[in-house]
Amino acid sequence: MILHVSTWPEIERFLSASKTVIIPIGSNEQHGPTGLLGTDWLCPEIIAHAAEKLAAEQGEPVLIAPTFNIGMAQHHLGFAGTISLRPSTFMAAIEDWVMSLARHGFERIYFLNGHGGNIATIEATFSEIYARYSYRGEVCPFALKLTNWWDLSGIAKMCSVMFPTGHGSHATPSEIAITYAAYPDQVRDVVPDPKIAPNGPIREAADYRARFPDGRIGSDPTLASIEKGQQLIDAAAISLLKDAARFSAEPVPPKAVS
Amino acid sequence: MILHVSTWPEIERFLSASKTVIIPIGSNEQHGPTGLLGTDWLCPEIIAHAAEKLAAEQGEPVLIAPTFNIGMAQHHLGFAGTISLRPSTFMAAIEDWVMSLARHGFERIYFLNGHGGNIATIEATFSEIYARYSYRGEVCPFALKLTNWWDLSGIAKMCSVMFPTGHGSHATPSEIAITYAAYPDQVRDVVPDPKIAPNGPIREAADYRARFPDGRIGSDPTLASIEKGQQLIDAAAISLLKDAARFSAEPVPPKAVS
Amino acid sequence: MILHVSTWPEIERFLSASKTVIIPIGSNEQHGPTGLLGTDWLCPEIIAHAAEKLAAEQGEPVLIAPTFNIGMAQHHLGFAGTISLRPSTFMAAIEDWVMSLARHGFERIYFLNGHGGNIATIEATFSEIYARYSYRGEVCPFALKLTNWWDLSGIAKMCSVMFPTGHGSHATPSEIAITYAAYPDQVRDVVPDPKIAPNGPIREAADYRARFPDGRIGSDPTLASIEKGQQLIDAAAISLLKDAARFSAEPVPPKAVS
Amino acid sequence: MILHVSTWPEIERFLSASKTVIIPIGSNEQHGPTGLLGTDWLCPEIIAHAAEKLAAEQGEPVLIAPTFNIGMAQHHLGFAGTISLRPSTFMAAIEDWVMSLARHGFERIYFLNGHGGNIATIEATFSEIYARYSYRGEVCPFALKLTNWWDLSGIAKMCSVMFPTGHGSHATPSEIAITYAAYPDQVRDVVPDPKIAPNGPIREAADYRARFPDGRIGSDPTLASIEKGQQLIDAAAISLLKDAARFSAEPVPPKAVS
Amino acid sequence: MILHVSTWPEIERFLSASKTVIIPIGSNEQHGPTGLLGTDWLCPEIIAHAAEKLAAEQGEPVLIAPTFNIGMAQHHLGFAGTISLRPSTFMAAIEDWVMSLARHGFERIYFLNGHGGNIATIEATFSEIYARYSYRGEVCPFALKLTNWWDLSGIAKMCSVMFPTGHGSHATPSEIAITYAAYPDQVRDVVPDPKIAPNGPIREAADYRARFPDGRIGSDPTLASIEKGQQLIDAAAISLLKDAARFSAEPVPPKAVS
Amino acid sequence: MILHVSTWPEIERFLSASKTVIIPIGSNEQHGPTGLLGTDWLCPEIIAHAAEKLAAEQGEPVLIAPTFNIGMAQHHLGFAGTISLRPSTFMAAIEDWVMSLARHGFERIYFLNGHGGNIATIEATFSEIYARYSYRGEVCPFALKLTNWWDLSGIAKMCSVMFPTGHGSHATPSEIAITYAAYPDQVRDVVPDPKIAPNGPIREAADYRARFPDGRIGSDPTLASIEKGQQLIDAAAISLLKDAARFSAEPVPPKAVS
C-alpha cells in the first residue's frame, strides 16, 4: 500500500491489521558527474516500492509513506542542485512526521535510509523524540528504527562481489545502478577522471569541493549498470520485508512508569 | 528539466541560461472518502511536470525541483494517514530549501502550491527569510513567489464552469480530477454521504473532525473525472509557464544598502 | 472594559458573564511622509476602544486587552522608526498571549488587526497553537479569530466611496484619517510627491525602499481628514461589536477526542 | 518626541541630532485588589511621557518609543487578566526591538523598566545580543541600558519617606499612586485584608497564589494617593532625563576587533 | 555524597532521606594575568566539596552534583581560553539538568554559583522552568534556589576585612585566594599593572577588552593568599550547609491547581 | 596544559605554538550497581589528563579543555542520578564551546568521547556547525574531530584480551576499571545478578528500565580491576597523543569560496 495514493478510510482499515509504516528517507545532493541528484532518496523509494509490490503479490501488504526527500547534505552545497536541511531542521521535521503517524496509532515506524550523512541526525532525532517521554517518566507508545538500504541483509556482500574495487562511499556504483535500473532513460555515459575518486574526511562544503573536485568519494560509477541495479533492488526488497516483519513482531517488555 | 534526475554539472549549465527554479509544494492529508492522501502535493507535481515537458518540447527548458510533499495540515490529523509539519518546522524547512538554492545562484524561486492551509505559513516564511537581509540593511539576492495552482490564470473560471455546484474548498472535484488523470488506476467509486459536504471554520483536529465527519468541506468529489482532470492539467501547465516566465523577466529596481 | 485599567477581581467577574476578549494588534512602521509610525496599531486600538465605550453605554460590556503594538514589518525597516518582530518571534509572542488568556478561561480570543503584513504570521500562529492539541488528539478549549478592521462589515464600501481613487494599500487615506480623528493635533500638512504612490511587490527592506521611495504604496494620503476618520471609527466600532458577538455566540460541535 | 505619533522623516531628522531612544517596558499582571493590571507598563510609560514633555519644554527633545507592555509575569498567571511572555519569547522580542532600532542608527537604547520580574530576562537578553558580536569578534555599534523607575535618583528615598511601612514589593503604594495620578478616574476604594500583605519567595503561579492570596506582596496599597503619585512622576521624570543624558554622553573606548 | 562517584542505587537510597541536591555552577573565563581560567567554577566546586566532607563527618550527608562548568561569559571572549554559552543555550542546559533531577524526585535544587555574569540568565531560566507549570495551572513539584558563594552568610564581611581595598568585581583576590588554597601549585607571581584595575560597564567582548586591557575589573589580585583562601573556604562551607538546610526545611503552602 | 588551571596569557602563548585543543566529553548516567554515575565523563577526563602529563614530560605540551560532563542520556533517566541534555540542547552547547574556542584561533578541536549515546548527536552538531559556512559558501577556519576512547588505537584489542566474555556495551568492565584505577577508594564490591546482563535495543527510559533492570547491557563489571584500569589508561594516553598529533598535522587542501 502506497500511503499517498490511498484514502484515509483505507489507512484506517490497514491499521486494524498492522501498526507498521515504512518511510523511505534520503537526500537530494550531487552524485558526481554521472549520478542523479535524487540518487539518495530515489534508492530507498525504489526499494520500498518494489517491496510493497512484492508484499501485495504475497497477500501481506505493507504500507509505504511518502518519501522524505531532503536530508542533511550541507557538505554537498558546493555543487549545484544540492538541497539540504540543517540538522536542527531535519530533526524537527522527522519529529513531526513521527508524531503525525503515532497520532494515528502506528507503533512501529521504520525509516529506510539512502544517505550516510543522514544517519547521525536521524539517530539524534530518535533520542530527541524518546526524550519527550523519558523526562516525564512516560511510556512511549511506538518504536523507531533506522536501516540503511546497504545494510539490509545480503546487500553488502552482493556489492562487494559486483564491485570488488571502486565502490567507494559517495556516488557509488551500487546506488547509481539502482537509479539506472529504475530510470533507464537517465543513464549517463560520462567517464569521470580519475576513474576512481579520492578519499578523505568530510567537513564543510568548501573543504569538500577542494578535496573531491567532481563530488565523488572513492568510487568508480562507470561500474554501474541497469542489470546490477535490478539485482540489488530485487534482493533489497526481499530483505526489507523480512527486516520490517521482524521489527513488527518484536516483543515489547512490560513497562512500568516510574 | 527535472532536478532530481539531473546531474550537478547539468544544473550548473542550466544556471548559465536561467536563474529560475520551480518547487511543487503541497501537503499529505486526508481528502475525504475518495481523494488520495497525496492529492495536495501530487497536483502541483503533476502540473509542474506537465509544464516541464511542454517547455522542453518548446525548446525553452524550465527546472523543477523535487516536490516538497509534507506541509501544514494540523487540522487533518484526526484522519489516518495525514502527515503534518508544525508551522514553525515548515518555516525552517522552506528556509533551508531556499538558502540551498540561493547558494547555487538561483535568483527566482517559485513555489507552486497545492494546499490552502500552506499559504499563511509559506508567506510568513518569505518574510522570515527576507528579514535576515532587512535587519542588516542588506540586499537580498533572490526573489520568492508563491502561486497556488488554482490561482493560475484561467483555472478558477474553468473550475466554475466544470463544477458550478459542489466544488467546495477541501477534497474538491478539481483537485481529485487532476490526481485521477495522472493516476487513472486510483479512481475511487465511493459515493460520499451527504453528496455535498458541510462548510465551517477550520480550527484544531478534534474540532475539524466534529464539523466535517468524512473530511470534506463543501465539496462533491463525485464530479471529478479523468477527462476534466486532464483539461485542468493542460491549462494549468500553460499558465504556469507564462507566470514563471513573467517572474523570471521581472525587472528589479536598483537597490541601495542603507 | 479596558483590561489594563481593571483589577484582577474585576476580570474574574467579567469571566463569569463572558468568555470573549478582543486584542487590538498592529505594527509600528513608517506610513509615508504624513502618516504616523503607530498608525497600524493605533487604528485597531482606536476602534476597539470606541467599541468598548459604545458597549458600556449599551450595558453589554466587552473586554479589550492591551494593544499588541509591534508586529511583522521587516519590509519597512529601511525607514527610520520602524520596529519589527521576525515572524518566528511574533508567533512565539502571540502564542504566549493566547496561552495566558486561555489560562484564565477565555474561550473566544478575537484579534482586531491593523496591518496587512501581519495576517500570514497571525494565521500561521493560530495553526501552531491548534497543532499543540491536534498532535495529541486533544480538544482545544478556545477558538481564535482574526479580523482586519478594514474587513469589518461596511468598511470597505465606505472607503471606496470616500476614496474612489488613491486609496492604495499602504499609508492609505482611510487609516491615516482614523489616526487624525483620534489625534487631531497630529495632522501633517505635507503634500507627497507623486500624489499617488507607485505599486509593486513587497520583498525585503532594501527592495522596498527602492520601489517605494517615500514609503507609500498606491496611496494619496492627502485625502485623509478628521471627519472621514471619525465616520470610519463610528462605523467600525458598531461592526466590531456585531462581529465579536457572532463569534461569542458561535456554536461549537460536540468534539470527541480520538 | 513620541515615536508612534511621529513620521519617519521626523525620526530621521531626530537621528541627526541624537542617537538615543528610551523604551518604556513593563508587564501586564495582577496588582492586588486595588491595583490596575497595567500598572507595571503604565508607570514607565507615564514617567517617560512626562519626561518627554519636560524635555520638549526645555528645547532638548528626547525620543520615547512605544511601550513594551507585556513582560515576564509567569508567577502571576494564577490571577485573571495577567498576560505573560515566557522568558525565551521575551528575549526574542527585545532582541528584535533592539535590532530594529539599531538598524536606524540608534546607538544608545535605554529601557525604563516597571517590573522587577523583568530584570533578569532583560539583562540576559542584553548578553544574548552582545554575544552576537562577541563570538565573531565584532564591535557592537550600540549600547544598552536598563533602569527601573524606582532606581532613578531620589525615588527610593522619596518612597521610604512617603511610605515608611507597607511599601512592600508587589502592588506597592508607590506604583499604584503613579497610575492613580495618571488615571484619576481609576482609583479603587477597596481595603484589602490583611492591610499589609505577607512576604515570601516567588516561584510558579500555583505556589504564588497559595502564598499571596490576593496577589500583593508585603504592601499596603491604601497608602497610595493621586498627590503622592504626581510627586513621584515629577521627580522621576527629572531623574530620567538626567540619567538618559549621562548615558548619551558616556564616552566609548576605542575598540579593536581582535 | 558526590553524585558522580556514587552509584544509582546509592542515590536512590539518598532520596529516601533527603530530596535536596546542590549544583556548583560557574564559568570558564579569563581572570586576569594571575587568575585561573576555571576560577568561577572551581570556587563553588571547592566550597561545595568542602561542605560535603564536613557534612559527612557530621553524619548528615549532603549530595553534590557534578559541576556545571561553562556559563555565560560572552564579554570575556576577547581573552584566550574563555568558553561561553549564549544565554539561550545556558537556559536550555540548566532546564535539562533540573528536569533530569526532578525526574528522580529531587524537590529542592540548589545552585551554588561562582560567576556574577550567570545570575540574570539562571534567574530567567528558573522563570522559564516555572512557566511550564504556570501556563498550565499545574503545581510545580520542586523549588529552585540560586546562591552566589560570596553572598553566603558571613563571606562578604570576611572579604571586606581581608581586602579593604582592591577587592574589585572581577578577578578578585577572594576568588583567586580560594583557587590558590585548593590548587597551591597553581599560584602565579605576576604583578599586574596597574595594581588596581579600572572599573566600568560590561558590554560585548571588544568593548570589554578596550576598557579592561588585562581582564580584571577593579581588583588587586596580588592580595590573594593560600591562607586567606582556606579561611574563605572553611567559612563558606559552613554557611552553605546552613543555607541548604534552611532551603530543605522550608515549608511549602498547600497549593491548589486553578 | 590543563586549560582551567591556566591563565589567559598562558593560553595565548600556547596558541602561538599549537592550534589544537582536546575536550573530554561524556555523560553522567547510571552504570549499573557497581559503576559510578560519572563513569562516562571520568574516563575521557582521566585519559586526557594522563596524556597531558605524558606530553608535558616529553616537552610537547597538549592542551586539555574542561570536561564536558553532561551528555545525551535520555534512556538512562529511569535510574536515579542520571542527568541528561536533550539532543537539541547538547547540540547548542557543543556549538557554543566550539565557537568560543574557534574565536581564540583554535583550528583543530578534538573531542575525546566517553559515551556511545553521545556519538550521533556530536556528529550531527559537527554538521550543524559546518553548515553555517556551507550555506554561505564560506571557508570554515577550523576542523572538528570525534574519537571515542575505546576506538583509540590498540584499546579494542586490549579489552577483548582482558575481557573475552562479559564486556558488553554498558557498564562495561573496561570503563569501570578505568574509574577504579583513578578513584581506588570508590571500588564497589557488589556482585550483580545475573552476572552477565541482558542485551537489547535502546529506546526511551521506561523501555530501557524494563529491559535492563539494573542498568547494565551485556556486561559483567565484576571483571574490572584497578590494575586493568591502569593498563587501559596508560595505553589510551599514548594513543590519544598520537591521534591528536596526526589530526594537528593533517594537511588542509587549498579551499576556494564559490
Encode pLDDT of B56-110 as tens digits. Answer: 999 999 999 999 999 999 999 999 999 999 999 999 999 999 999 999 999 999 9
Q: Is A135 at the interface with chain E, CB within 8 A?
A: yes
| A95–B34 C-beta distance less than 8 A | no
What is the arithmetic mean of pLDDT over E192-202? 96
Inform me whether the pLDDT recorded for D101 exceeds 60.
yes
* Interatomic CA distance for residues A32 and A212, integer angstroms: 9
**Residue E166: Cβ-neighbour burial (10 angstroms; 0-12, 13-18, 19+):** middle
User: From the CB coordinates, do chains C and F have 3 or more pairs under 8 Å?
Assistant: no
* Interatomic CA distance for residues F160 and F168, integer angstroms: 11
Q: Is C252 at the interface with chain B, CB within 8 A?
A: yes
pLDDT > 90: percent of chain F: 97
CB atoms within 10 A of CB A188: 20
Among the ranges given (C243-257, D1-15, E66-80), the one the predictor scored with the smallest mean pLDDT: C243-257
B130–chain C nearest CA distance, Å? 5
| A103–C137 C-beta distance less than 8 A | yes
| Other chains touching F, judged by 3 or more CB pairs under 8 Å | A, B, D, E
* Interatomic CA distance for residues A84 and A99, integer angstroms: 22
SS3 E147: strand
Q: Is D249 at the interface with chain E, CB within 8 A?
A: no
| Other chains touching A, judged by 3 or more CB pairs under 8 Å | B, C, E, F
Determine the pLDDT at residue B86: 98
What is the arithmetic mean of pLDDT over E7-36? 98
| A255–F209 C-beta distance less than 8 A | yes
The gap between the terminal CA atoms of chain E, to the nearest Å, is: 39
Mind spelling out the 3-state secondary structure of D27-73? CECCECCCECCCHHHHHHHHHHHHHHHHHHHCCCCCCECCCECCCCC
Which CATH number applies to D3-248: 3.30.1330.90, 1.10.3720.10, 3.40.50.740, 3.40.50.10310? 3.40.50.10310
| D135–F100 C-beta distance less than 8 A | yes
Q: Is D213 at the interface with chain C, CB within 8 A?
A: no
> Which cell numbers hold the place of C201?
511587490
A258–chain F nearest CA distance, Å? 7
Q: Is D60 at the interface with chain E, CB within 8 A?
A: no
CA distances F34 to E203, F38, F167, F230, Å, are 48, 12, 14, 18
DSSP one-letter code for C138: P
| pLDDT tier, E246 (very low <50, low <70, confident <90, very high otherwise) | very high
C-alpha dihedral (A199, A201, A206, A210), degrees to nearest 10: -30
CA distances A235 to A57, A230, A231, C99, E141, Å, are 16, 9, 6, 53, 55
User: From the CB coordinates, do chains D and C have 3 or more pairs under 8 Å?
Assistant: yes
* Interatomic CA distance for residues B241 and E241, integer angstroms: 76
The mean pLDDT value of chain F amounts to 97
User: Which residue among C72, C128, C210 sits closest to B255, beta carbon to beta carbon?
Assistant: C210
* Interatomic CA distance for residues F251 and B184, integer angstroms: 58
> Which cell numbers hold the place of C258?
480520538
Contact at 8 Å (CB) between A132 and A124? no
Contact at 8 Å (CB) between B11 and A82? no
Question: How many residues are recorded in chain E?
Answer: 258
Single-letter amino acid code for the residue at A15 = L
* Interatomic CA distance for residues E111 and E119, integer angstroms: 10
pLDDT > 90: percent of chain D: 97
CA distances A85 to B9, B93, E147, Å, are 22, 6, 42
* Interatomic CA distance for residues E36 and A66, integer angstroms: 56
D-chain CB neighbours of E135 within 8 Å are 74, 77, 84, 86
* Cα A199 versus chain centre, distance: 23
CB atoms within 10 A of CB A164: 9
For chain C, what are the domain ranges? 3-248
| pLDDT tier, B253 (very low <50, low <70, confident <90, very high otherwise) | confident
Determine the pLDDT at residue C255: 79
Determine the pLDDT at residue E175: 98
Single-letter amino acid code for the residue at C32 = G
What is the arithmetic mean of pLDDT over D31-44? 98
* Interatomic CA distance for residues A182 and A186, integer angstroms: 9
A75–chain B nearest CA distance, Å? 11
Q: Are strands F108-113 and F143-148 parallel, antiparallel or unpaired?
A: parallel
Region for D105 from its dihedrals, namely left if φ exceeds 0, alpha if ψ lies in -120 to 50, beta otherwise: left
> Which cell numbers hold the place of B182?
495522472
| D103–B137 C-beta distance less than 8 A | yes
Determine the pLDDT at residue E253: 84
Single-letter amino acid code for the residue at D108 = R
Q: What are phi and psi of A210, to 5 degrees?
A: -70, -35
Determine the pLDDT at residue E39: 98
Q: Is C12 at the interface with chain D, CB within 8 A?
A: yes
* Interatomic CA distance for residues F91 and F129, integer angstroms: 9
Among residues E149, E170, E175, the alpha carbon closest in space to that of E240 is found at E149
Regions of chain A short of the pLDDT cut 70? 257-258
Among residues B230, E1, D185, D21, the alpha carbon closest in space to that of F186 is found at E1
Rounded-to-5 percentages of helix, strand, coil across chain B: 50, 10, 40
| E127–D120 C-beta distance less than 8 A | yes
The mean pLDDT value of chain C amounts to 97
F83–chain A nearest CA distance, Å? 10
Nearest CA in chain E to C101: E135
Q: What are phi and psi of C115, to 5 degrees?
A: -140, 115
Full-model pTM: 0.98
Contact at 8 Å (CB) between B177 and B49? no
Single-letter amino acid code for the residue at A258 = S
Determine the pLDDT at residue B165: 96
Contact at 8 Å (CB) between B134 and B127? no
Question: What residues pair up with F24 in beta bridges, in sequence order?
Answer: F112
> Which cell numbers hold the place of B72?
501544514
> pLDDT tens digit string along C81-122?
999 999 999 999 999 999 999 999 999 999 999 999 999 999
Single-letter amino acid code for the residue at E137 = G
**Residue F37: Cβ-neighbour burial (10 angstroms; 0-12, 13-18, 19+):** buried
E-chain CB neighbours of F28 within 8 Å are 3-4, 66
Mind spelling out the 3-state secondary structure of B44-104? HHHHHHHHHHHHHHCCCCCCECCCECCCCCHHHCCCCCCECCCHHHHHHHHHHHHHHHHHC
Determine the pLDDT at residue F201: 97
Determine the pLDDT at residue A258: 56
A245–chain F nearest CA distance, Å? 16
* Interatomic CA distance for residues F84 and F194, integer angstroms: 27
Inform me whether the pLDDT recorded for B257 exceeds 70.
no
> pLDDT tens digit string along A129-138?
999 999 999 9
Among residues F166, A248, B125, the alpha carbon closest in space to that of C91 is found at B125
D-chain CB neighbours of F103 within 8 Å are 134-137
| C104–D97 C-beta distance less than 8 A | no
Q: Is D135 at the interface with chain F, CB within 8 A?
A: yes
The mean pLDDT value of chain A amounts to 97
Q: Which of E2, E5, E7, E189 has the most F C-beta neighbours within 10 Å, making it the best mutation to test the interface with F?
A: E7
Q: Is F257 at the interface with chain B, CB within 8 A?
A: no
Question: What residues pair up with B170 in beta bridges, in sequence order?
Answer: B217
> pLDDT tens digit string along A162-196?
999 999 999 999 999 999 999 999 999 999 999 99
Determine the pLDDT at residue C257: 60
> Which cell numbers hold the place of D245?
543624558
Among residues C49, C166, C79, C70, the alpha carbon closest in space to that of C115 is found at C70
What residues 82-121 of chain E have any CB closer than 8 A to a CB of chain F?
A: 82-86, 88-89, 92-93, 95-97, 100-101, 103-105
* Interatomic CA distance for residues D147 and D243, integer angstroms: 9
> pLDDT tens digit string along C160-192?
999 999 999 999 999 999 999 999 999 999 999
Determine the pLDDT at residue F253: 84
> pLDDT tens digit string along E90-114?
999 999 999 999 999 999 999 999 9
Contact at 8 Å (CB) between E204 and D134? yes
| pLDDT tier, F251 (very low <50, low <70, confident <90, very high otherwise) | confident
**If you write DSSP's letter for every residue of B165-203 in order, what string do you get?**
SS--SBS-HHHHHHHHHH-GGG------SSSS-------
* Interatomic CA distance for residues C100 and C3, integer angstroms: 13
- Name, in order, each residue with C-beta under 8 angstroms of C30's C-beta and a sequence gap of 6 or more: C37, C76, C79, C80, C81, C82, C171, C215, D7, D8
What is the arithmetic mean of pLDDT over D176-198? 97
Angle at which helix B173-182 crosses helix B155-162, to 10 degrees, equals: 100
SS3 C152: coil
| D134–E75 C-beta distance less than 8 A | yes
Q: Is B41 at the interface with chain A, CB within 8 A?
A: yes
What is the arithmetic mean of pLDDT over F158-179? 98
